Amino acid sequence: MLADPPSRWTPLAAVAARAGAALPPAGPVVDALVMDSRRVAPGDLFACVRGARSDGHEHAAAAVAAGAVAVLADRPDRLPHDLGVPVLVVPAVRAVLGPVGALLAGDPADRLRVVAVTGSNGKTTTSTLLAGALGGRCGLLTTVGATVGRHTRSTALTTPEAPDLHRLLRWMVQRGATTAVVEASSIAVDVGRVDGLCAEVAVFTGFEPDHLDHHGTLEQYWASKARLFTPDRARAAVVVTDDPWGRRLADQAVVPVTRVGHDADCDVRVLRGTSGAAGTEVLLEHDGGRHLVRSPVVGRVHVTNLAAAWAAAVAMGVAPATAARRLASVAPPDGRNTLLTAPGSPLVVVDYAHTPGALADAVATASELRPYGEVHLVLGARGARDRWKRQGLGTAARAADHVWLTNEGSHGEDPAAIVAELAVGLLGSNARVRTVLDRRAAITAAVDAAGPEDVVLVVGRGHETLLQDAPGALDPATAQRFADADVARAALGEGRRRLAG
């Protein structure tokens, strides 16, 4: 059983003191750490986090009015003169969110064997596979949400903010979890969302440019990933070394590394990997033996993801044969090469691919699934994010036979301007390119135009169920309900009815 989290001021102040806090002499009972003044409940400690668009210090009074019994701040000069509650002043609020969040949640990570998974692509699939390979009541926290057995929780971020992360780990422990797999994004590592968490094994799936609107440069993006593989964050590593970045990480990491890939010097070597509509099969060589690993996940891109999941499970103490047997029955996560079809209709593939490399792999997978047909690609790009990669997405789309350029959620940008940037990468392509900004109409038109031997590949959103055109971060209040898979199913149904008529 997980003990009740400590709620007295003394242990909280002790954590803050290690960060150099200026301590009030006494304080109240504190129940939870909250960063959003709109979510404050009586008994909470409100953290004044400074972000790109808002400064939590400006909302401290509202948090106190909602019931916050104390405030955590690093700019006391920006607080009202008399809040009427104790203020813990630290050099940087973000730097203590992890330790304080863990303390107030009862240090749940101390009761879990944690695996953290990072990489530019494949994090969600690899995490899902690994959780299945570990078996038992393994907690899973990914972009899709949090699960323990049949229990599920939704999440707003790939890796939740530190206080929410530790509350979710506590939730997992309370439901019987003894292990947990956590998807760790580069931004999460960079801003401290995984602080207070040390993984038994950290997994690296691969690397390509992404999130440069946050990190600024490729090296800074790389450094954020690499920080997960240090002794204070992980005890061991499983690293896919098929790209130069993976080899660099394996060479530089100061924790024990299991190398995974096709090269002869890999500890877990991929001897053969094949994939089709029925799933993926990988023949691995490890420690003098050979192991055949199968999975229902679709796409050659998942060969090394499957190998990494198997290797990480073995590193966690699972017998090689047991890991292989469990992986064969793990259902793929939603929106990762999800296949939809109907009699007499094209095959529809819904995938999360949103980087040039991932898109190239997705188009190649689609071509392999129906080698005698054509690929109809429905492509957009998220607004107010990673504008630099749009031309690269267009270039990767050149391998498709038909491209339907559409809106993916403009977040305040002009959808037509976003599509125009994608189109630059398609200049000179042999693909037939159409622009249909209404996403529902674009998916429907692609399904209608495709023949029964063709593939309609819908990319960029995967499992997501909200699409937003209003400025700002995703907000359920302003976003529209929209699931690519549901729209594709409806289009397949309409096409089937027309055939029947």
Instruction: Write a three-state SS string for 214-236.
Output: HHCCHHHHHHHHHHHHCCCCECC
Distances (CA, A) of 38 to 44, 62, 68: 12, 8, 11
Alpha helices in 70-199 (DSSP H): 93-105, 123-134, 162-174, 186-191
Spatial distance between the Cα atoms of 224 and 96, rounded to a whole number of angstroms: 18
Quick check: is 2 in a domain?
no
CA atoms within 13 A on the CB side of 407: 22
Spatial distance between the Cα atoms of 391 and 424, rounded to a whole number of angstroms: 6
Spatial distance between the Cα atoms of 62 and 74, rounded to a whole number of angstroms: 18
Q: What is the pLDDT of residue 282?
A: 98
Do 300 and 367 fall within a single domain?
no
Quick check: is 343 in a domain?
yes
Question: Looking at residue 486, what DSSP letter applies?
Answer: H
Q: What is the pLDDT of residue 458?
A: 98
Contact indicator for 491, 448 with CB cutoff of 8 Å: yes
- Cβ-proximal residues to 319 (8 Å cutoff; 6+ apart), any chain: none
When divided into structural domains, the chain yields a total of 3
Quick check: is 365 in a domain?
yes
Three-class SS of residue 246? helix
Q: What is the pLDDT of residue 211?
A: 57
* Burial of 469: CB neighbours in 10 Å, binned 0-12, 13-18, 19+: middle
Q: What is the pLDDT of residue 419?
A: 96
AA letter at 279: G
90 strand-pairing partners: none
295 strand-pairing partners: 280
Last residue of a domain, one of 327, 359, 386: 327
Q: What is the pLDDT of residue 156?
A: 75
Cα angle 480, 148, 1 (rounded to 5 degrees) comes to 130
Quick check: is 333 in a domain?
no
Last residue of a domain, one of 100, 128, 153: 100
Tens digit of pLDDT per residue, the chain (501 long)? 455 555 556 667 666 666 666 656 566 778 889 999 999 999 999 999 987 678 999 999 999 999 999 899 999 999 988 898 888 888 899 988 998 888 888 899 999 999 999 988 889 999 999 999 999 899 999 988 999 988 999 887 677 888 999 999 999 999 999 999 999 987 788 777 888 889 999 999 988 756 556 556 777 777 878 889 999 999 999 999 999 999 999 999 999 999 999 999 999 999 999 999 999 999 999 999 999 999 999 998 899 999 999 999 999 999 999 999 999 999 999 899 999 999 999 999 999 998 998 999 999 999 999 999 999 999 999 998 888 889 999 999 999 999 999 999 999 999 999 999 999 999 999 999 999 999 999 999 999 999 999 999 999 999 999 999 999 888 888 899 999 999 999 999 975 555 544
Q: What is the pLDDT of residue 209?
A: 57
Dihedral angle sign, alpha carbons of residues 16, 17, 21, 24: positive
Do 125 and 94 fall within a single domain?
no
Spatial distance between the Cα atoms of 461 and 289, rounded to a whole number of angstroms: 40
What DSSP letter does each residue of 322-363 carry, written as one string?
HHHHHHTTPPPPTTSSEEE--TTS-EEEEE---SHHHHHHHH
Cα angle 389, 279, 316 (rounded to 5 degrees) comes to 85
Q: What is the pLDDT of residue 165?
A: 92
Quick check: is 116 in a domain?
yes
Do 454 and 382 fall within a single domain?
yes
Do 213 and 314 fall within a single domain?
yes
Do 314 and 392 fall within a single domain?
no
Spatial distance between the Cα atoms of 351 and 359, rounded to a whole number of angstroms: 9
Dihedral angle sign, alpha carbons of residues 447, 396, 122, 144: negative
Distance from CA of residue 244 to its chain's centroid? 22
- Determine the structural domain holding residue 246 and report its residue range: 107-327
Spatial distance between the Cα atoms of 106 and 174, rounded to a whole number of angstroms: 11
Quick check: is 381 in a domain?
yes
Do 232 and 127 fall within a single domain?
yes
CA nearest to 314, candidates 274, 280, 287: 287
Last residue of a domain, one of 265, 295, 327: 327
Q: What is the pLDDT of residue 169?
A: 95
Provide the CATH number for the domain around residue 21. Answer: 3.40.1390.10
- Cβ-proximal residues to 309 (8 Å cutoff; 6+ apart), any chain: 126, 129, 130, 133, 203, 327
Do 119 and 170 fall within a single domain?
yes
Do 144 and 82 fall within a single domain?
no
Do 208 and 347 fall within a single domain?
no
Do 128 and 239 fall within a single domain?
yes
Spatial distance between the Cα atoms of 185 and 430, rounded to a whole number of angstroms: 36
Quick check: is 431 in a domain?
yes
Three-class SS of residue 425? helix
Task: Compute how many other C-beta atoms are within 10 angstroms of the C-beta atom of residue 230.
Answer: 14
Q: What is the pLDDT of residue 187?
A: 77
- Cβ-proximal residues to 393 (8 Å cutoff; 6+ apart), any chain: 354, 355, 356, 359, 379, 381, 422, 425
The reported pTM is: 0.89
Task: Compute how many other C-beta atoms are within 10 angstroms of the C-beta atom of residue 395.
Answer: 18
Do 199 and 288 fall within a single domain?
yes
Q: Strands across the sheet with 338-340, in order? A: 338-340, 347-351, 455-459, 375-379, 402-405, 432-435
Cα angle 355, 193, 20 (rounded to 5 degrees) comes to 145
Q: What is the pLDDT of residue 29?
A: 78
Quick check: is 332 in a domain?
no
Provide the CATH number for the domain around residue 375. Answer: 3.90.190.20
Do 113 and 95 fall within a single domain?
no
Spatial distance between the Cα atoms of 60 and 49, rounded to a whole number of angstroms: 10
